[in-house]
Amino acid sequence: MRIRTTGLSKTYDRKNKALEDLSIDLNMNGIFSIIGRNGAGKTTFVRILSTELLPTSGKGYINDADVVEQAESVRREIAVVPQEARPLPWLTPLQTVSSYLMWRGYSYREANEKGKEALRELGLEGKEGEKSRKLSGGQKRKLMVATVISSEAPVVFLDEPTTGLDYLSRKELWQLLSKMKRDRLIILTTHYLEEAEILGDQIMILDKGKLVDIGGIEDLRSKVKLPYVLKVYSENFKISEDEVQVHPVSEKETFVYGSAAKIYGLVPYLVTNKMKFTVEEASLTSIFEQYLGNEEEEKENEEKNW
């Protein structure tokens, strides 16, 4: 599956730039994860590529079909769960899935069979006949995801499907997605960075409507200055900030970010002094922070001063 944009831009109400000159080209199957803070432009990107919203300028293509000029053929290839979509409360889970499939053109019988299969997959079997309004928040989200994933669409857009879910529900959704991603492209936006790290075969970082970077987690990690983290568990550990970043977590715990050479250079000292430590690759959270600087902290400080 291929997703491509050239100079894609969206300005709302002539002043609010939600996307600016975005050009990407991915030819992949699996999960394409889009991360960025609230307002970064994730939903705008999804809505344009899924033919729900017109761009202000630039082009978008799904499998080489233009999302504006050839919307009808794009629409046969895609399925979308919008950010705030919920199951209709008067439908049962089975009716929710099967009516969506019928809207895509499946016969009543096919839609019901596929619907039952999807609910089995979800572990909602016993609830087939209950009204959706009785489902928990997590079950509602999973139901929406299952609804589009049970369709034939090879390209699926999921806009923040896990926001607000508890950790266990999120993990269940992750399992569902990992299972369903074969042979299709799932475009998944999230602001949980660990989620993008676990699921994302490709990751795009957006900030204020601009492309910050795009690539696999390894690519992104290889581009930041501090790709390794040393975690030291000792009260006596002291180090000067020389080509490394030091984050004291607690009295007994210090995180040091740095290059491989720098971090591994510290190991002999730790071993000699019998300090407990681990060396890990920097998580997406730390990569994200390095990409976007410490704006978050600055903002917090500003707010405190205010």
Partner 1 sequence: MKRRIGSQIMASILVNSIYAMINYPVVLINTLLAPLAILAVVTFASKGALLPVAAVGALIMSMVSSGTSLQQDLSHLKNDMRLQDMIVSSPTTSLIYIIGMALSEIVYSIPTLAFLIVLNLIFVKTTITGGFIIFMDMATIFTFSISLGFFLSTFTSDIIQSWGFSGILSPLLTTIPPVYYPITYIPFPYRYLAYLSPTTYASVIAQSQTGFYDPGAEGFVVSWIVLLAVTAILTYLALKRSRWREI
Ligand X SMILES: Nc1ncnc2c1ncn2[C@@H]1O[C@H](COP(=O)(O)OP(=O)(O)O)[C@@H](O)[C@H]1O
199 vs 54, 95, 178, 189, 264, CA distance in Å? 29, 29, 7, 11, 29
Cβ–Cβ < 8 Å for 111, 91? no
Instruction: Assess 40 for contact with ligand X (CB under 6 A).
Output: yes
Interface segment toward ligand X; rule CB under 6 A; list 39-47, 57-65, 99-107, 134-142:
39-47
Using CA atoms, how far apart are residues 198 and 187, in angstroms rounded to an integer? 14
The terminus-to-terminus CA distance of the chain in angstroms comes to 49
Interface segment toward Mg ion; rule CB under 5 A; list 83-91, 177-185, 246-254, 270-278:
83-91
In single-letter form, the type of residue at position 146 comes to A
- Give the number of residues in contact with partner 1, rule: CB under 8 A: 37
Q: Which of 9, 43, 50, 132 binds ligand X (CB under 6 A)?
A: 43
HSE value, Cβ hemisphere, 13 Å, CA-based, for 170: 16
Cβ–Cβ < 8 Å for 84, 46? no
Beta carbon nearer to partner 1, 69 or 219: 69
Q: Which of 24, 39, 213, 231 binds ligand X (CB under 6 A)?
A: 39
Instruction: Assess 43 for contact with Mg ion (CB under 5 A).
Output: yes
Token pair of 177 as six digits:
């997605």
Instruction: Assess 170 for contact with ligand X (CB under 6 A).
Output: no
The contact mask relative to ligand X for 2-21 (x = CB under 6 A, - = no) is ----------xx--x-x---
Q: Which of 9, 33, 95, 162 binds partner 1 (CB under 8 A)?
A: 95
Return the residues of window 122-151 that contact partner 1 according to CB under 8 A: 131, 148
Backbone angles phi, psi at 201, to 5 degrees: -75, -35
Interface segment toward partner 1; rule CB under 8 A; list 19-27, 78-86, 176-184, 193-201:
78-86
Dmax (CA) for the chain in angstroms is 71
Using CA atoms, how far apart are residues 49 and 113, in angstroms rounded to an integer? 30
Instruction: Assess 96 for contact with Mg ion (CB under 5 A).
Output: no
CB of 212 to Mg ion, least distance (A): 17
Cβ–Cβ < 8 Å for 258, 245? yes
Give the binding site for ligand X (CB under 6 A). Answer: 12-13, 16, 18, 36, 38-44
